[in-house]
Each structure stands twice: as structure tokens, then as C-alpha cells.
Amino acid sequence: MNRQIRITHFYHSGFSVEADDLLFVFDYWRGEKNELHDQLQLLPEELKKYRAVYVFISHEHVDHLDPVVFSWKDYAPVSYFVSSDMPVGTRGKRMAPGDTQRLEEGVSVTAFDSTDLGVSFLLDWHGIRIFHAGDLNFWHWREESTLREIEEAEKEFQDAVKPLEKEKVDVAFFPVDPRQGSMFEAGANYFILAVKPRLLIPMHYFHRTEIIKEYARTASCRSTEVLAMPGIRDSILVDFDEHGYMNISFPRPEESASSEEAETLDSIAADNPFSESDLPLAQLAEDGATEE
């Protein structure tokens, strides 16, 4: 049976996955001062079109948890899943590494370990498996840490990834954080080699879109396609056919952000996220529409 999901990048580590009449939202955040409020806000009319909305919050860091998500329950049937170490009183079903929750028939989520606070999530939607790392990463700081600290961080990371090596992962959202300096991509590279996700989408890069585009250009390999989604509300369609093949395409231009929204984003970002890119999402979408 053919199945399709639509992935949308909001900001930082925030993504949604639309699957039929369901919406899955991971680590939604509108920025430090909600400076991108108008472009990022999921509006009531958007939420109401889904039969169910599932919100996943990997941990309590401000850049992974926007309190606005708890207001969404006023507009749609929303269920929340949060890490077990979240502050007492946080709304949602608490999950520790190893826990599995059945969301509905054919849909479940399992929590895995992190190398920071909280957990990472592996969502299974009718056999299509989507991993959101949260803050799972090889958090080394080579310009500041001692060799022993780096070795300890590496072992902690490899131990956390080990259980995932047995899992099938179709799509992974994973941190590639240039603040780490030298070898900032080491965690993502190891994850690609060890877990072999079919598609990896970098996240957690703090506005450094040029870094993420270059990483996507150079990191793809036989087992894993790496795709940058640097713009706010960038979307892709991922189709899975009955033979197990995966095809990535881009929504038509009219389905993407309006020109007015694009101009607003240009005024916020210092660089054009599509300029000098080997993965020009907007242009590819236009070409696809022309060819049809």
C-alpha cells in the first residue's frame, strides 16, 4: 500500500509530520522572543482539519518547548507526550527511555535515551518510522574540553545510540550544531553510519543555514540521503510505495509560503536560505510544477 507523509520544518528543532488526517509535532518553538510568531504560529484553522494532533516534547529546554502548544487543545483533539524528567505539573503522558505508547491502531511511539535532558522519540506510523533526536548528540567541545571529557562524551553518545542500531528508521531529525566548533558534525556522521536512516534532516543549527546546506551537500551516502530544510515552513512530501521505495518531492509553489511571508522571512534572516544552495527547495518545486 502506498503511503505519503508531509514534513514541515518550523524553526530550530521543530518539525511536523502530516500523515493522512493526523498531525505529529516535535519540539515546536517560535524563537527566544517569539520573533517569528506570525510565520510559525499554527493557527486554529490549520489544527482543526486534523482528526488528531500528537505533540512530542523531548525535554524542558526553552528551545524545545514552547508553552503555546498547550493552548492548541482549545482548537483540536491534542495529545501530549513528554519526557519523564519534565517538571511536575507538565501536561502530557510521561515517557522514559524504553517506554512505548500506543497512540491508535497502527500508530505508536517509543522513547529512547538522550545525552542531555529528556528523551528522543521513534514514531511508528503504519510501519513508517520517524525518529526525532531531541538533544541526543555527541556533545563534545574540542576547543574547551579535555581529552578525557571528550572520550567520556563519545562513550555516552555511542551507548545511547546502540539500541537504535537494531531499529529501522526511515526519517531522522538530528542535531548538527556548529556552535560545537571543530568536528561539529561528528554526532550526525556517527548516527548515519550506525543507524543508517534512509533520510536525515539536520536541525538545531541556530540560524547557520549556510553550514547546514553544506553539510547536506557533502554528507549523503549510499544508505542515507541528507536533506537541508533551512527555511521557515519548508515542506517536503515523502512517498513510500508497496515495494519499499521512498520518493521525495516538493509541494507546488502555491502550497508553500506566500510571497508576503517570504519577504518577512528575508527581513529576519541575514542570508537567503536558498541562495547558492545545492538543494534549492523553492526552485525544485517550481521545476516540478513546470514539468507536469
Confidence class for position 254, pLDDT limits 50, 70, 90: low
Tell me what pLDDT residue 94 has.
96
Q: What is the DSSP string of 23-67?
A: EEEES----TT-TTHHHH---HHHHTTSSEEEEEE--S-TTT--G
| Rg value, the chain, Cα | 18
- Amino acid identity, residue 90? T
End-to-end CA, the chain: 24
- State the CATH architecture for 3-291: 4-Layer Sandwich (3.60)
Tell me what pLDDT residue 61 has.
87
Query: What global pTM score does this model have?
Result: 0.85
Span 78-112, pLDDT tens digits? 999 999 999 877 889 999 999 999 999 999 999 99
Round the average pLDDT of the chain to a whole number and report it: 85
Span 113-169, pLDDT tens digits? 999 999 999 999 999 999 999 999 999 888 888 999 999 999 999 999 999 999 999
CA angle 230, 139, 145 (to 5 degrees): 130
- Amino acid identity, residue 222? R
- What the block records as the C-alpha cell of 62 is 526553552
Beta partners for residue 237, in sequence order: 6, 249
**Secondary structure, 3-state, 211-262:** HHHHHHHHHCCCCCEECCCCCCCCEEEEEECCCCCEEEECCCHHHCCCHHHH
